[in-house]
Structure 1
Amino acid sequence: MKVGYLGVPGSNSEVALQNECHGMPDIEAMGYTTFPELISDLVEKKLEMALIPVENSTTGFIARTADLFRNKPIVAVADRYEPIDYTLFGVPGTDLSTITEVYSHPEALSQCEVFLAQFPEMKEMPFADTAKSAAYVKKQNSPQMAAIANPRAGKLYGLEPLAMGIQTEKSNTTRFYIMKHADAAILKGNQLSLYLEVRHEPGALSKLLQIFGILNCNLLSLNARPIPGQPFAYGFFLELDMTDMSVAFDVLWQTVLQAVTYIQILGRFERTNHIEYN
């Protein structure tokens, strides 16, 4: 089975994929440079599954990936919470005091901002991927360069740790959707992910949210995003916990249809318990 992820071996997505697929036979991990390329291959059925990050416990909703789900025949059949542990790495022999440039993905830099604020002499250098930043620092072999990446990446690319556990939130976790083509997916479970648009009139969104309350659905998240081609108009990504819903799913669906102008199911699966931290 071909499973896609963003990045190269050692990226956070690749670590999540390895943990999710551990013990599964015949898994072929396929790394991608960009999310559009990854999602395009899933749409075209060149992949059977993909892991896509959608939310981080420190920085929140990952809009750049969710935006790509709109109007695509792909759905989430499960989700995975992956703890993200960051280390500052340098080439062997590097000392923390010599570092002037720190390379990593912008998301990782943001998740380590408190640590980095202690070293104003270190210039943040955004990079396409955490693992690629580790490989780059290794290749440059400069004692003035460092990379922020997970422990697997540092080991893979032969770097030495300079500071460990540098993420601002020690419980830092990224949530991934496990996605398939809609034709190959069986959607069931108590958690529902939707993208929808409502009429641009007073109370339209409020009326929709009231429906969820009346039917005893717990709103887990709600995020507004601009609608392409419609300046200053917004659609909404939302998730519902239907565990205690008072009606059948078909009743919920038909009721919601009356309150929206567009709706797309992005996923349905069993709700995952959050990871417990000490």
Structure 2
Amino acid sequence: MLGGEISFLRGALVALPGTTLDQITEIRSHPYVLDQCRTFLSTLGSVSLAQAQDTAGSAKGIKEGGLKTTAAIAGARAAELYNLTILKSGIEDDSNTVTRYVLLSTKAVVPERHLNPVTSVSLVLKNQPGAIHKATAAFALRGLNISKIESRPTSRSITVAKPWEYVIYIDVDGSTADAAVANAIANLHEFAIKVRVLGSYPRYQPPVQPLVGQYGVGLKMIPPLLYLLARAHAINFVGTT
């Protein structure tokens, strides 16, 4: 990871021009997005739901396939680029839903300290008493602040799926160039099955600047710093909700 940014993007139900809501028989989108719009989707009766790799790809598929009875949940920018009609906007259950964009590269770049860096780490803990406490203590005892911690099932992550096994994702202030951060990560190996440093990157909140992503979709909320990094490394943005 070379960078990350969180943005508020409103979901919209989009379809080919001339299509009305009562003509829709199928709705496509990323599974997480479908889950975030459950209340609205429950009002549509027998409309079938189809999982897709991403929201923009769903919109693009409708345009290229000329699918008159299929709609997608995507952003307004995707509707604009693929000449689709917005049937309804703001359909997510929670208006505070955010998308986190991360910039990926095969080469690590350690940010300078004045950029207020953050480091992301993933780990699978051993099944033993106090494992989570020990993991967080590795940072706390060195005076390091954990800005985010979450868990996901290993079935979609870095190991083979096992019942009740989770990957813990931690964001900690500082970079791997800092001795305290490096030592804390080394300490994690004592009580973790697997530890992976996802990267150190700048925490930056500048004015927005448009960028065209992998599917030709303008990501209006991408900050200039990430924009310049993407141009320099010829890499794309990945969004997670």
TM-score (norm 2): 0.66
- 1:117-128 → structure 2 map (5 Å cutoff): 117-128=42-53
Separation in 1 of the partners of 2:166 and 2:30?
28
Instruction: Look up the match of 1:241.
Output: 173
How many residues align? The count is 195
The letter for the 2-side match of 1:186 is V
The letter for the 1-side match of 2:27 is V
Q: Higher strand share goes to which structure?
A: 1
Q: Rate the CA distance shift 1:235–1:154 in 2: closer, same or farther, 3 A.
A: closer
Q: Residue 186 of structure 1: which of 110, 134, 146 is its match?
A: 110
Tell me which of the two structures has the higher relative contact order, counting C-alpha pairs closer than 8 angstroms and 6 or more residues apart.
2
Instruction: Look up the match of 2:136.
Output: 209
Q: Deviations over 1:140-189 (max 9, x none)?
A: 5454322222122212222212112222222332112212223x522444
Q: Is the partner of 2:2 in helix, strand or coil?
A: strand
The letter for the 1-side match of 2:171 is E
Tell me if the contact between 1:223 and 1:236 (Cα under 8 Å) persists in the aligned partners. yes
Q: Cα distance, 1:91 vs. partner?
A: 2.0
Q: Cα distance, 1:222 vs. partner?
A: 3.3
For the pair 1:112 / 2:43, whether they are aligned, the reply is no
Q: Residue 87 of structure 1: which of 3, 8, 12 is its match?
A: 12
The letter for the 2-side match of 1:77 is L
Residue identity (%): 27
Q: Deviations over 1:39-75 (max 9, x none)?
A: xxxxxxxxxxxxxxxxxxxxxxxxxxxxxxxxxxxxx
The runs of 5 or more residues in structure 1 that have no matched partner are: 1-75
Tell me if the contact between 1:192 and 1:242 (Cα under 8 Å) persists in the aligned partners. yes
Q: Is the partner of 1:114 in helix, strand or coil?
A: helix
Q: Deviations over 1:1-60 (max 9, x none)?
A: xxxxxxxxxxxxxxxxxxxxxxxxxxxxxxxxxxxxxxxxxxxxxxxxxxxxxxxxxxxx
For the pair 1:133 / 2:36, whether they are aligned, the reply is no
Separation in 1 of the partners of 2:181 and 2:62?
52
TM-score (norm 1): 0.59
Tell me if the contact between 1:194 and 1:238 (Cα under 8 Å) persists in the aligned partners. yes
Q: Is the partner of 2:100 in helix, strand or coil?
A: strand
The runs of 5 or more residues in structure 2 that have no matched partner are: 208-241
Instruction: Look up the match of 1:218.
Output: 145
Q: Rate the CA distance shift 1:140–1:250 in 2: closer, same or farther, 3 A.
A: closer
The letter for the 2-side match of 1:209 is T
